[in-house]
Amino acid sequence: MPFLSALEGISSTLLSNTFIQLPYPEGDLSGQTIIVSGSNQGLGFEASRHILRLGVEKLIMAVRDPKKGEAARQELLQSTGREESTVEVWLLDMDSYVSVKSFASRAADLPRLDALLANAGLFTNTFIISEEDEKTITVNVVSTFLLIALLVPKLRESASKFNITPRITIPNSALHYIASLGQLDPQNEGGIFKSLNDKEASNMAGRYPLSKLLVVFGVRAFAKQFAQSKAPLVIINTPNPSYCKSQLERESGNISVRVRQKLLARSTEEGSRALVHAIMADEKSNGQYLTNCRVHSPSCIVTDEKGAMIQEAFFKELVTKLERIAPGVTACF
């Protein structure tokens, strides 16, 4: 089954990037406020350009480096012809729980919030403990879901006040099909997060795919909680923009990466179309993995009996961790 899952992920990427062109984003975002993290470059930058083109009233560029964010802001304003007041640059370092909490506190004062594109992510081959966990897990998983949980009250408030259905989107990858389950066994001593923090047992070459698998589990679990709540619905989904030319693999910097990108990768503009589609998608996308702007089955690792057990155990640990980081945050569940 793992082999078949990996084969499906590889074939899906080759088919998508060779034969399928994603639809150019259409729609009307006038009146809306949208946050895009990691928006000063790559997919986040191109998604922000589309969002501005579609008439968003306020774009919040959440970035780790405000100077780079401001340069990106000026480029976006120039290319779209939008007014200066349309785009704001806010500091958000996903490698810092304090920064995530500070950002969410600031966002709580926004007049409204329609959508979050949680695009900021990390791809590294170096094992480093950051905050409580290995850095890839901290940035791609824990801080991402911490930010989401902290923003849910504002999203629900906006839903009630403006009669909208807010959306949360976390980019994913077909690489989740090839993720190894060894460190995700709920029976591992100390649980999943402790296992992931074992440097000697960690395969960092497979850590990014593993983080994206955990995002799929998290999105499915969050969606289930949201659907069961009596509060206004918040849609959460996780689209795969497929393999794109971006700065994500900049740490590798070898010739094989450059050749692979040249031959197989989509442009960041085309890949960003999948992200924009997801933050405009309807309730059918709730809890779903998306490919080529359509709901698509995730890896069988996710959907089989073992996957269900891992998801339950992971979500339980994640909720406990989030509550410890920000007491009261999981009340949104």
Q: Where are the beta strands (DSSP E) in 64-158?
A: 87-91, 115-117, 129-130, 133-134
Please count the CA atoms within 13 angstroms of the CA of 309 that sit on its side-chain side: 9
d(CA 13, CA 175): 9
Name residue, tokens 């403006």.
162
Q: Where are the beta strands (DSSP E) in the chain?
A: 33-37, 58-63, 87-91, 115-117, 129-130, 133-134, 167-169, 235-240, 289-291, 294-296
138-175: burial string, b at 16+ Cβ within 10 Å, e else: bbbbbbbbbbbbbbbbbbbbbbeeeebbbbbbbbbbbb
Is 208 among the catalytic positions? yes
C-beta of residue 205 within 8 angstroms of C-beta of residue 44:
no
Determine which one of 58, 135, 154, 212 is catalytic.
212
Bridge pairing between strands 115-117 and 33-37? parallel
The CA distances from residue 93 to 3, 63, 66, 113, 166, in Å, are 36, 7, 10, 20, 23
Is 212 among the catalytic positions? yes
Determine which one of 97, 177, 208, 289 is catalytic.
208
Sign, CA dihedral 218-221-226-230, equals negative
The CA distances from residue 57 to 86, 107, 117, 316, in Å, are 6, 15, 16, 37
d(CA 80, CA 161): 30
Please count the CA atoms within 13 angstroms of the CA of 304 that sit on its side-chain side: 8
Please count the CA atoms within 13 angstroms of the CA of 157 that sit on its side-chain side: 12
Tally of residues, the chain: 333
DSSP bridge pairs for 291: 240, 294
C-beta of residue 235 within 8 angstroms of C-beta of residue 166:
yes
Give the residue numbers marked as catalytic: 208, 212
